[in-house]
C-alpha cells in the first residue's frame, strides 16, 4: 500500500498515483480517516461551495461546526473568515459579520464567538441538525426550541453564509452526509467549506478523483474502491505486506491496536522530518521540505491551486524526484 500524500506537493501525488497504478497497489491517504467523504461530496457538486476569498469579501454569517479553527488553522479566522474587512463587509467582525460555534466543548473558536456558542453533547450533531431543520421549516423543534429558533432566524436572514464543517461533525454523523446535504438544501445562501488539517489533502483527493472517480481507498488491481482498502482496514485485516509512507506519520495518528501489524511489515518512509514512522521504518529516505527547499503546487481547502516556491537550497531531493526515481527503477 502507498499511504500518506497529504503533506506532499501535487506533482508528488500524481507520481504516487502513477506508481500505484503501475504496481497495481492500494493507495490511500489521511483523508480516509479525516474529511475524505465530505470532499468527495463537494467534488460531486452535492454542496454549494465557494472560495475563501469570497468568504472574506461577502460572508456575513459564519458557522464553525465541530471545528476549532482558531487552534487547528490559526490563520483562518484572521486571514479569511471572521476578522478581515472584505469588499462588501467593510465594518468587518465588529458589525458586519457574525460567528457561530457549534461544538461539544468551549474551544478557543467558541470563546471568540462568545454569545453565539451552541454546546451539544458528544454525538449530538444528528439531533442538532434535525432540530435545526425543524426550526428552519417553521416547526417547533423538540431539542432546545428557543435556542434553535433563534439560530434558525439568524441563518435565514444571512445574505452569504458559510458552514465550516470540522472533523467533529464528520465523525459524529459517521459519514452519513445525506442529512447535511438536506440541511444545506434548506439554506440556499449557505456554502459548505470542509476544514482540512493537512495542507495538501484536497490536492490528493482531487488528483485521485480525476483518475478514478474516488477520493481515497483505491486498489488499482481490478480498479476497485472499497472501505477495506483504507489504511485502517488494511492493517486491521493484515491484507497488506508492505507499506510506502510519503509525508505522513501513521504511527502517531493511527490507533495503537493497528500498529503491531505496521511494525511487522517492511515500511519505506519518505519524509523531511524525523517522525515516529521514520523511526520504525525499514528504509527512511529524507526529502526536501516542499515550499521551503522544493517548489511545487498545492490545493487549498477551497480548491484553489497555490504555487509553492523554493526559497532555500537543499542537498535532499524532493519527494516528487524520489518517486520518479522509483518509477525509473521499476
Task: State the Cα–Cα distance between residues 16 and 1, nearest whole angstrom.
Answer: 11
DSSP state for residue 290 in the 8-state scheme: B
Least Å distance, CB 112 to another protein, is 6
Nearer to another protein, 83 or 130 (CB): 83
Q: Which 106-145 residues touch another protein, going by CB under 8 A?
A: 108-109, 111-112, 114
Nearer to another protein, 93 or 130 (CB): 93
Q: Among the candidate windows 82-90, 188-196, 203-211, 243-251, which touches another protein by CB under 8 A?
A: 82-90
- 85 touching another protein, by CB under 8 A: yes
Whether the CB-CB separation of 287 and 322 falls below 8 Å is answered with yes
Taking CB under 8 A as the criterion, the residue among 30, 31, 49, 70 binding another protein is 70
Q: Strands 305-308 and 296-299, how do they pair?
A: antiparallel
- 67 touching another protein, by CB under 8 A: no
Q: Among the candidate windows 73-81, 169-177, 275-283, 295-303, which touches another protein by CB under 8 A?
A: 73-81
The 3-class SS string of 132-145 reads: HHHHHCCCCCCCCH
Q: How many CB atoms lie within 10 A of CB 285?
A: 17
Rg (CA), the chain: 21
Least Å distance, CB 64 to another protein, is 12
Whether the CB-CB separation of 86 and 27 falls below 8 Å is answered with no
327 closest CA partner among 9, 11, 8: 11
- 94 touching another protein, by CB under 8 A: yes
Taking CB under 8 A as the criterion, the residue among 48, 50, 72, 83 binding another protein is 83
Taking CB under 8 A as the criterion, the residue among 77, 169, 287, 301 binding another protein is 77
Taking CB under 8 A as the criterion, the residue among 74, 122, 223, 255 binding another protein is 74
- 297-301 long-range contacts (CB < 8 A, ≥24 apart) are 297/9, 297/10, 297/11, 297/203, 298/9, 298/10, 298/199, 298/200, 298/203, 299/10, 299/200, 299/202, 299/203, 299/206, 300/52, 300/202, 301/52, 301/193, 301/194, 301/195, 301/196, 301/202
Nearer to another protein, 79 or 123 (CB): 79
Size of the site for another protein (CB under 8 A): 21
Taking CB under 8 A as the criterion, the residue among 47, 64, 65, 80 binding another protein is 80
Nearer to another protein, 79 or 279 (CB): 79
Task: State the Cα–Cα distance between residues 327 and 306, nearest whole angstrom.
Answer: 26
Q: Which residues contact 21 (CB under 8 A, 6 or more apart)?
A: 211, 220
Nearer to another protein, 15 or 109 (CB): 109
- 9 touching another protein, by CB under 8 A: no
Taking CB under 8 A as the criterion, the residue among 36, 66, 86, 303 binding another protein is 86
Q: Among the candidate windows 90-98, 127-135, 205-213, 239-247, which touches another protein by CB under 8 A?
A: 90-98
Q: Which residues bind another protein (CB under 8 A)?
A: 56, 70-71, 74-75, 77-80, 83-86, 92-94, 108-109, 111-112, 114
Amino acid at each position: 500500500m502507498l499511504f500518506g500524500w497529504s503533506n506532499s506537493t501535487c506533482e508528488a501525488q500524481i507520481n504516487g498515483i502513477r506508481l500505484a497504478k503501475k504496481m497495481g497497489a492500494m493507495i490511500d491517504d489521511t483523508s480516509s480517516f479525516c474529511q475524505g467523504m465530505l470532499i468527495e461530496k463537494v467534488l460531486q457538486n452535492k454542496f454549494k461551495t465557494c472560495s475563501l476569498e469570497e468568504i472574506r469579501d461577502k460572508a456575513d454569517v459564519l458557522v464553525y461546526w465541530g471545528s476549532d479553527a482558531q487552534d487547528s488553522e490559526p490563520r483562518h479566522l484572521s486571514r479569511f473568515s471572521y476578522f478581515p474587512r472584505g469588499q462588501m463587509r467593510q465594518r468587518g467582525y465588529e458589525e458586519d459579520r457574525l460567528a457561530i460555534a457549534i461544538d461539544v466543548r468551549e474551544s478557543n473558536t467558541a470563546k471568540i464567538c462568545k454569545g453565539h456558542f451552541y454546546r451539544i453533547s458528544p454525538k449530538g450533531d444528528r439531533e442538532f441538525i434535525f432540530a435545526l431543520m425543524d426550526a428552519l421549516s417553521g416547526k417547533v423543534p423538540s431539542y432546545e426550541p428557543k435556542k434553535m429558533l433563534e439560530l434558525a432566524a439568524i441563518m435565514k436572514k444571512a445574505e452569504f453564509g458559510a458552514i465550516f464543517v470540522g472533523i467533529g461533525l464528520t465523525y459524529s454523523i459517521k459519514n452519513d452526509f445525506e442529512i447535511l446535504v438536506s440541511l444545506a438544501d434548506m439554506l440556499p445562501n449557505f456554502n459548505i467549506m470542509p476544514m482540512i488539517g493537512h495542507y495538501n489533502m484536497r490536492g490528493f483527493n482531487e488528483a485521485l478523483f480525476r483518475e478514478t472517480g474516488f477520493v481515497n481507498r483505491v486498489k488499482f488491481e481490478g480498479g476497485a474502491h472499497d472501505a477495506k482498502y483504507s489504511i485502517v482496514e488494511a492493517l486491521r485485516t493484515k491484507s497488506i505486506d508492505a507499506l510506502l509512507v510519503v509525508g505522513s506519520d501513521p504511527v502517531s495518528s493511527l490507533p495503537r491496536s493497528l500498529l503491531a501489524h505496521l511494525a511487522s511489515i517492511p515500511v519505506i518512509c519518505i519524509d523531511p522530518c524525523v517522525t515516529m514512522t521514520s523511526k520504525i521504518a525499514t528504509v527512511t529516505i529524507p526529502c526536501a521540505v516542499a515550499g521551503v527547499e522544493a517548489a511545487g503546487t498545492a490545493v487549498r481547502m477551497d480548491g484553489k491551486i497555490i504555487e509553492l516556491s523554493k526559497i532555500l537550497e537543499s542537498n535532499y531531493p524532493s519527494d516528487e524526484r524520489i518517486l520518479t526515481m522509483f518509477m525509473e527503477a521499476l
